Structure 1
Amino acid sequence: MSAPADWSPAEQRLWTAFTHGTQLDLGGLSPVVGSPNGEYWGEDQIIRAEALAHLLIHGPEQEPGKPPRLILKGARITGRFDAGCAELASFLFIECVFDQTPFMNDAKLQFMGFQKCRLPGLDAARIRCDGPVWLDDTRFFGPVVLEDTEIGGDLRIKATTVDAGHDRVAIQLDAAHVANHLVLHGARTIGAISMVNLRADGNLVLRDAHFDMPGGWAVHAPRLVVGGSVFGESGIRVTGGVMLGGSSVAGEVLLDRIEISRPLEMALDLDHSRFALGFKCLNGRIHGAIRLHHMIVGCQVDLQNTRITQVKKGVDAVRADHLEVDGTAVFADVDLDGPLNLHGAKIACNLILSGAKLRGVEKQAAFNADGARIGNHLIARDCTADGGVVLTAAEIEGNTNFIDATLRNGAAVAFDLRRAILKGSLQAGGSLTVTGTMALTNASVGVDLVLRDATLTNPRGKAMAATGLQVAGDLIADRCTTAGLIDLAGSAIKGDLRLVDAELKGLSADEASRGTVVDPKGEWRGLAVRCTGARVDGDVDLRGAQLHRELGLNGVNVGRTVRIEGTHLAAEGPSALTADGLVAETLVLKPAAPPVHAVSLASAHVTELVDGAASWPSTAPINLSGFHYERLDSDLPVEDRLNLLRRATPVYAAGPYEKLAACLELAGQDADARVVRHASIRRSYQAKNPVIRLWGNLQDLVVGYGYAPGRALAISVLLLLGAGLWFTVGVTGCLPASPGLCPVKADEHPTWDAWLYSLDLLIPLVDLGHEKAWDPLGVSKLVALALTMSGWVLTTVVIAAAGRTLRRS
């Protein structure tokens, strides 16, 4: 069978090549570099579309052993190629130019291909191709329509340019099915590529592709299904947005170095997508926002070093709320012009934010992961957040690391861990800087909370709000610098609370009162640290710390030692230390210098008190009412300690004196203990009415309230000596033959003895037979009367002191 007679020589040659299954090269230059004008082509290079259709639909049989195919190179196709609803032989056009858009809707064939061709467009909707479709290195100046196609092999649109105008769809692949790979490597579109409900059983290759539809969805592929992976890790550029919402990819999605530009709009939408083996968008440059809402990723999400700019005010730069990742989520070194939202996210392994730069707007948090679940570590080392970092009610199985981070949110909450459950440690030291409140209210930390060398600044409020905080290990804030209140009221720390060498500037009462709502749990203004009702099972260590305002330890229960040693207590405010109701094994109160403001240990209970000369204020009030301690380790002289007790108990109470005396006795300082008890009794009388006070002074003078019995003996001896000498040398004999006083009865009297007479007058309870036998006259009578009265006073005082001593014993 031969070609029709009216066919041109070129068409007849094509007939022959078709029957042999060989390529026909008509010698035309490549149209992708040459001119599309008609004069470019000679008559021997022109094929009518009608002839092509005849060959492909009704062509002759091939010679035995030759494949049924048409391969044409270097030709110009004139007229309209119409193969709609036809069953075609396989064809491949190479370096050909079509004057009109080929029409192939609903056609069936084994293979079709256009390589290095030039076409006004391509209409091939609903074609059924049992093999591959190649559209390589070709230029289309209108839409390529492959909607609802069924392709049994690869669909290659490699290095091809499709120009449909910025407001149209350039490549239409909606509802298409590609049994193997969809390759768009190096493709260029002016207009969108639409892949709604497309299914590719192999890979989707987007390397070096460019899609251009400013302001719209340049890549519109919701509900895309890919059986392999999406490879776009080599410089995709998109002017417009990328919509992949609801897509499903059985492998991984790689979009490294992608550039997307849709300013102030959604640039990349992956809502409700499922990527089985990971999503990577490293080193991306995106102008506009990203949505990963409810996205599920089976391995890893990685946006490392991606820059997201020109985000609309009030919109998240990355909205990934309820994101689920069965691996690690990496946002390291990202630079976002809006918030990162991971609300309710579930991440099976690590969340990495190291080096990230995050920004909130107005009341928006820069990073929001409230209610998130993280299966291992949260690593945000050297992260910067302008706006709050919110981890409210988050659960983190591993460690939380914000070492060297910078978190800024003015006077609002900058680092929000309220009700968070951190099963590992919270490492937030180094050069961590928090401007605003670090909120740990009712949070739980499973190991240590470390703020070593951190800086927390909120001078008009709480630098750390940690009421109800629970720490299973130590809270370490050595060398930490804070401006604002550190509030640990009601917290529970299983290990130590350490603020060694910290500088705690506290909160000015005047500054805090400006528009600040009163704390319902108590007054907290004017303090540097408040630990009201806290429990610390280890030590509270403030060695070398500098507190500009009050240290509040009211009601704190400490398992071991409270160390206020080398500490600089408050230079501002009415109080330096308030520890009413403190319970501790040991209280070491040895500040660097004597406090200049009040110190209160009312109702505190410690087993051992360690203090010294610099422990107590010299002029400010001291309150030790109800203070209980069992042992005392001190170099403070007893007189200084008595002076301290007098100042600490404006209203006399025997308890503090007795407690001090008992501790001194336990330390083997019995003499000092007696001095203390003596001072206690003396002060007890000073607190009574004038008569009792006089009686007390008399007891003190005579016997030191029983603590100076030798004083009574000495007074008695002096009185006896004085009286004896008087009655010996100062009395003229009553009778010449009888020296001394005149006898009451001349014939009944003992022999005169001035010393026995004086002793009988001095001891009123014993009758020596001399007092009533002699009758003093003149001055001697006054001396006798004074001696008798002194005897009664001495006896009464001694008996009273002896009774008190017996009761004390």
Structure 2
Amino acid sequence: METNDLTPAEARVWRAFATGEAVDFRAAADEDAADGGTWGPERTVRASVLRALLLAGPQREGETASLSVAGARVTGPLELPYATVDHPVRLRHCHFDEVPRLYAARLRELNLSESVLPGLISHAVRVDGVLRLTRTRFGGMVRLGGAEVTGSLYLESTRIDAPDAEGPVLQLNQAVLGADLWAPGLRTRGQVRLTGASVSGTLNLRDADLDAPDGAALDAQNLVVGSGVGASCLRARGRVDFRGARIPGTLDLLHASLSRPGGTALRASSCVIGELWLRRGDRVVGALNLRRSQIDILTLGPEMLPDEVYLSDLTFTALAPHEPAERRLPMLERDGDGYVPYAYEQLTAAYRRIGDDDAARRVQLAKQRRQRRTLPWYGRAWGLLQDAAVGYGFRPLRAGGWLLSLLAVGSVTYGLRPPPPLKPAESPDFDPVFYTLDLLLPVISFGQENAFAPEGGYQTLSYVLIVMGWILATTVVAGVTRSVSRQ
């Protein structure tokens, strides 16, 4: 490019490039780049001039050439597809009239912080350093699918407002980041796609606001993170999808607000996660899907649970915070897959690991009662008997109560009117307590039952006591056997 064709503003940028000197066109530090469309020629630079500098700009021996411009209006498309740029590119507080196209380019550093752009096309771009889009505002799609950044990608307080875009507004699918994806305060209107992305460090989405109510606000399926995902205070309208993700550290959703009415609000199925924190936030609106996931520590606040959950084959080692069984059981009752025995066993094991055997028994009792609803009528009837008699073996003292009640009824009744002996000369002295025990206990005999013969209603009572004794004994044996087999 002939320098004679440059405007004064462009000539200033051209001269500064060789030494890496920063050029700042701003009249005040607090200028808003959104007003850049009104900036005049004194601070306007053609994108073609920037391209010429980056590809074949002047260099001075002993100096590091770089493009460092602030407060400029960039006109025309910045076209660098497949280009190799060995100089840092810093275009901060700038206003771009057209979408830069950096498809498959190789850059040393790219900094577009606090600029305003109609979009960014950078599929498969490689940045040998950091990519900074801090507080940058985009009016269209940001395409970084397949990007490779050896350092970190910074998206703090970045805004992407493209609700009418045909596809995700932030595309980072299959991206590879050598350090962190730092995006606290990110604001998007449209889907954020991280499917198949690999982040060697931390993914930070603290206080992010993601709005895509008709689909997935965050699509992070098969995401691989080297550390953890910090998404505390996240506000998402639309599905948050971590299906198949690998997160060895923490997936932090403390104080989060997740909403997708009529659909799935959070899907973390088939995941491997060190710790999942989901508590102290608003109640989840929509379904919660944790099917087939492996989680070491599941921190789950009952107050956040929605009306519909999916827990089939969910495995966890510990469940926090410690809550009474009555606070945890509604979660299993809401399972959209119906009766899932494994979910009850997982909750039981979690209570036993911390030594809360009473809560473990309550969960097992709830499991038997839930299973009863799936049985035919005769199975339900037998289950009701076991439940009433001994609580399926988890309430053994209840059997003693039944026994004492029946013993009292029989002892008082037969004590007031002893039955006549069958053989007066050979019969032992009548004892109403042991006579009643003889009727109730089907195995043990005290010699009373065979020596006396009640009549009329007293004989009917003896039949009732015999039947109740057999039912009680059978349910006790069945319940205790089931309880022992669980130990």
User: What TM-score results when the alignment is normalised by the length of structure 2?
Assistant: 0.88
1:568 to 253, 257, 260: 257
Give per-residue Cα distances to partners, 1:637-677, cap 9 Å, x unaligned: 42131111111154212111110111112223221111111
Partner of 2:390: 703
Q: How far 1:748 sits from its partner (Å)? A: 2.7
Query: Counterpart of 1:718 in structure 2: which amino acid?
Result: S
Q: Secondary structure at the match of 1:436?
A: coil
Q: How far 1:807 sits from its partner (Å)? A: 1.5
Q: How far 1:372 sits from its partner (Å)? A: 1.8
Cα distance change, pair 436–573 in 1 and its aligned pair in 2 (3 A): farther
Q: Give the Cα separation in 2 of the matches to 1:573 and 1:419.
A: 36
Q: How far 1:635 sits from its partner (Å)? A: 5.2
Partner of 2:116: 406
RMSD: 2.8
Q: Give the Cα separation in 2 of the matches to 1:337 and 1:346.
A: 14
Q: Do 1:501 and 1:545's aligned partners in 2 also have CA atoms closer than 8 Å? A: yes
Q: Do 1:645 and 1:657's aligned partners in 2 also have CA atoms closer than 8 Å? A: yes
Q: Give the Cα separation in 1 of the matches to 2:189 and 2:218.
A: 11
Q: Do 2:23 and 2:68's aligned partners in 1 also have CA atoms closer than 8 Å? A: no
Partner of 2:349: 662
Q: How far 1:343 sits from its partner (Å)? A: 11
Q: Which runs of 5+ in 1 are unaligned?
A: 1-242, 245-253, 260-279, 285-297, 307-331, 361-365, 409-413, 510-525, 732-739
Partner of 2:242: 553
Q: Secondary structure at the match of 2:81?
A: coil
Partner of 2:320: 633
Identity of aligned residues (%): 26
Q: Give the Cα separation in 2 of the matches to 1:283 and 1:755.
A: 109
1:533 to 222, 230, 233: 222
Cα distance change, pair 303–727 in 1 and its aligned pair in 2 (3 A): closer
Q: Give the Cα separation in 1 of the matches to 2:85 and 2:169.
A: 26
Cα distance change, pair 283–562 in 1 and its aligned pair in 2 (3 A): closer
Q: How far 1:766 sits from its partner (Å)? A: 1.5
Q: How far 1:744 sits from its partner (Å)? A: 2.1
Q: Which moved more, 1:797-806 or 1:743-752?
A: 743-752
Q: How far 1:725 sits from its partner (Å)? A: 0.9
Residue 757 of structure 1 pairs with residue 435 of structure 2: yes
Partner of 2:71: 355
Q: How far 1:257 sits from its partner (Å)? A: 7.6
Q: Secondary structure at the match of 2:450?
A: coil
Q: How far 1:340 sits from its partner (Å)? A: 5.6
Partner of 2:329: 642
Cα distance change, pair 528–654 in 1 and its aligned pair in 2 (3 A): same
Q: Give the Cα separation in 2 of the matches to 1:258 and 1:491.
A: 43
Q: Give the Cα separation in 1 of the matches to 2:258 and 2:53.
A: 43
- Displaced runs of 4+ in structure 1, greater than 4 A? 254-259, 298-306, 337-344, 346-349
Partner of 1:802: 480
Give per-residue Cα distances to partners, 1:518-540, cap 9 Å, x unaligned: xxxxxxxx121110111112121
Partner of 1:336: 46
Q: Do 1:568 and 1:591's aligned partners in 2 also have CA atoms closer than 8 Å? A: no
Partner of 1:159: none
Q: How far 1:575 sits from its partner (Å)? A: 2.5
Partner of 1:459: 163
Partner of 1:441: 145
Query: Counterpart of 1:756 in structure 2: which amino acid?
Result: F
Q: Secondary structure at the match of 1:775?
A: coil
Cα distance change, pair 747–649 in 1 and its aligned pair in 2 (3 A): farther
Task: Select the structure that is richer in helix.
Answer: 2
Task: Select the structure that is richer in strand.
Answer: 1
Q: Give the Cα separation in 2 of the matches to 1:589 and 1:305.
A: 46
Query: Counterpart of 1:407 in structure 2: which amino acid?
Result: L
Cα distance change, pair 796–639 in 1 and its aligned pair in 2 (3 A): same
Give per-residue Cα distances to partners, 1:295-330, cap 9 Å, x unaligned: xxx967999799xxxxxxxxxxxxxxxxxxxxxxxx
Q: How far 1:357 sits from its partner (Å)? A: 2.0
Q: Give the Cα separation in 2 of the matches to 1:572 and 1:760.
A: 63
Give per-residue Cα distances to partners, 1:237-281, cap 9 Å, x unaligned: xxxxxx97xxxxxxxxx769878xxxxxxxxxxxxxxxxxxxx93
Query: Counterpart of 2:72 in structure 1: which amino acid?
Result: A
Cα distance change, pair 283–485 in 1 and its aligned pair in 2 (3 A): closer
Partner of 1:713: 400
Cα distance change, pair 342–782 in 1 and its aligned pair in 2 (3 A): farther
Q: Give the Cα separation in 1 of the matches to 2:180 and 2:298.
A: 24
Q: Do 1:528 and 1:547's aligned partners in 2 also have CA atoms closer than 8 Å? A: yes
Query: Counterpart of 2:184 in structure 1: which amino acid?
Result: D
Q: Give the Cα separation in 2 of the matches to 1:689 and 1:570.
A: 39
Cα distance change, pair 808–635 in 1 and its aligned pair in 2 (3 A): closer
Partner of 1:450: 154
Partner of 2:11: 281
2:90 to 374, 379, 386: 379
Query: Counterpart of 2:81 in structure 1: which amino acid?
Result: D
Q: Secondary structure at the match of 2:162?
A: strand
Partner of 1:491: 197
1:480 to 186, 198, 210: 186
Q: Which runs of 5+ in 2 are unaligned?
A: 26-41, 58-63
Give per-residue Cα distances to partners, 1:331-358, cap 9 Å, x unaligned: x955238786569937785344543322
Q: How far 1:636 sits from its partner (Å)? A: 4.2
Paired residues in the alignment total 461
Partner of 2:269: 580
Q: Do 1:343 and 1:372's aligned partners in 2 also have CA atoms closer than 8 Å? A: no
Query: Counterpart of 1:567 in structure 2: which amino acid?
Result: A
Q: Do 1:611 and 1:636's aligned partners in 2 also have CA atoms closer than 8 Å? A: no
Give per-residue Cα distances to partners, 1:165-197, cap 9 Å, x unaligned: xxxxxxxxxxxxxxxxxxxxxxxxxxxxxxxxx
Cα distance change, pair 769–704 in 1 and its aligned pair in 2 (3 A): same
Cα distance change, pair 464–720 in 1 and its aligned pair in 2 (3 A): same
Q: Secondary structure at the match of 1:726?
A: helix
Aligned pairs (5 A) from 1:98-177 = none
Q: Do 1:429 and 1:454's aligned partners in 2 also have CA atoms closer than 8 Å? A: yes
Partner of 1:128: none
Query: Counterpart of 1:483 in structure 2: which amino acid?
Result: R
Q: Do 1:350 and 1:374's aligned partners in 2 also have CA atoms closer than 8 Å? A: no
Q: How far 1:695 sits from its partner (Å)? A: 0.6
Query: Counterpart of 2:453 in structure 1: which amino acid?
Result: D
Aligned pairs (5 A) from 1:292-311 = none
Q: Give the Cα separation in 1 of the matches to 2:320 and 2:277.
A: 9
Q: Secondary structure at the match of 2:458?
A: helix
Cα distance change, pair 478–283 in 1 and its aligned pair in 2 (3 A): closer
Cα distance change, pair 373–337 in 1 and its aligned pair in 2 (3 A): closer
Query: Counterpart of 2:95 in structure 1: which amino acid?
Result: T
Q: Do 1:685 and 1:693's aligned partners in 2 also have CA atoms closer than 8 Å? A: yes
Query: Counterpart of 2:234 in structure 1: which amino acid?
Result: A
Q: Give the Cα separation in 2 of the matches to 1:446 and 1:556.
A: 21
Q: From the CA coordinates, give the structure whose radius of gyration is larger.
A: 1
Q: Give the Cα separation in 2 of the matches to 1:754 and 1:429.
A: 89
Q: Which has the higher contact order (CA 8 A, sep 6+)?
A: 2
Q: Give the Cα separation in 2 of the matches to 1:558 and 1:776.
A: 74
Q: Do 2:202 and 2:227's aligned partners in 1 also have CA atoms closer than 8 Å? A: yes
Cα distance change, pair 586–728 in 1 and its aligned pair in 2 (3 A): same
1:678 to 362, 365, 368: 365
Query: Counterpart of 1:774 in structure 2: which amino acid?
Result: F
Q: Secondary structure at the match of 1:794?
A: helix
Partner of 1:724: 411
Give per-residue Cα distances to partners, 1:72-116, cap 9 Å, x unaligned: xxxxxxxxxxxxxxxxxxxxxxxxxxxxxxxxxxxxxxxxxxxxx
Residue 793 of structure 1 pairs with residue 471 of structure 2: yes
Q: Give the Cα separation in 2 of the matches to 1:655 and 1:761.
A: 41
Q: Give the Cα separation in 2 of the matches to 1:627 and 1:370.
A: 46
